[in-house]
Amino acid sequence: MPRPSRRLRALPGAGAVLALLAGLLTACAEPDPGLTIGAGASSGLPMTKISVGIIPIIDVAPIYLGIQKGYFAQRGLEVEPVIAQTGGEIAEKVLGGKVDIGFSNVVSLLAAREKGAEVIAVAAGVSSTGDPVKDVNGVVVGKGSTLRSAKDLEGRKVAVNALNNIGDTTVSAAVEKAGGDPSKVTFVPMPFPEMPAAVKAGTVDAAWLSEPFVSSVVAGGGRILFNNLTETYSKVQIAAYFTTASFREKQPIILDRFVSALNDSLAYARDHQVQVREIVTTYTKIPREVAVSVNLPDWPVGLDRESLLAVGTAARRYGTLKKAPDVDGLVG
């Protein structure tokens, strides 16, 4: 199968980050300056500050809930969220030793390992719901669109937030599954907030969007054409929390405490959607009236090797990865 079309170039610098990852590893040899030990907590453990690179989106709600509910403090951890705008920025900070742990989509992490960066996934981040009608992501079209299936994207323009990543990889998988040719799809890199207007104006024929933008397009008369995630795997593990092999070796106890607290936070988020909808309004720009109705992702505990392999295999098939995905290396 030929690669999907890459006729439009990626955003400036998008490929540069991955190219620099291997070189940045040398910075990890120095002790982490952000890891400091302070006064004791109510748990009796000495308090340790740990920095976590995140993007301010719905997906990272468990981190904020865990801080609010005291799951991290109970394990002697003071979590400092470090806000970034892209996964590439987070990866650069983690690999440069400026942030201890980061949040990134799984294709970016597999691509980083292929480039030689020793990133290690340590905990689940966020997953699709498995419901193609009610999910956190989806491929949408505007009001009046004549497209009816993924196959209809042949010869069309589809907006994705970045080229050679999880968006175009899973859209390509869905197109091929529907009997289409992914190489005939033109993927257009565009920030999520700009996509609804582009769909409405007809600048692109469809867009791969996340919430709250999916609901925004549907409310404006558009519709979900298909769910590229569920067409790739039943429940895709979209992102994971990761660190470097160096940090894991130097701080195994701290890392174990973090993962334990995060797992409690993930489980709490999964079972308390009202609290999730409340807390996302405190660290994102999503208005309360929107937060109460958007589709939420799933937050299962534990890394899903089968999902990672399915997505990684698709990334290899459509040219994002040049080799077989190093899933075993990623999950340690």
Q: Backbone phi, then psi, for 204, in 5-degree steps?
A: -125, 155
User: Tens of pLDDT along 287-320?
Assistant: 999 999 999 999 999 999 999 999 999 999 999 9
Nearest of 108, 122, 99 to residue 53 by alpha carbon:
99
Q: Which domains does the chain have, with CATH numbers?
A: 14-129+236-330 (3.40.190.10), 137-232 (3.40.190.10)
Whole-structure pTM value: 0.85
pLDDT at residue 43 in the model: 62
pLDDT at 1 over 80: no
pLDDT, tens digit (0-9, with 9 covering 90-100), for 114-171: 999 999 999 999 999 999 989 999 999 999 999 999 999 999 999 999 999 999 999 9
Tokens read off for 241: 């929390």
Task: Convert the pLDDT of each residue in 155-201 to its tens digit.
Answer: 999 999 999 999 999 999 999 999 999 999 999 999 999 999 999 99
pLDDT-based confidence at residue 45 (cuts at 50, 70, 90): confident
- C-alpha torsion sign, points 257, 260, 263, 267: negative
Q: Tokens 């701080």 label which residue?
A: 251
Give the model confidence (pLDDT) of 15-42 as tens digits: 333 333 433 333 333 334 344 444 445 5
For residue 99, which of 120, 110, 84, 85 has the smallest C-alpha distance? 84
Task: Return the amino acid letter for 158.
Answer: V
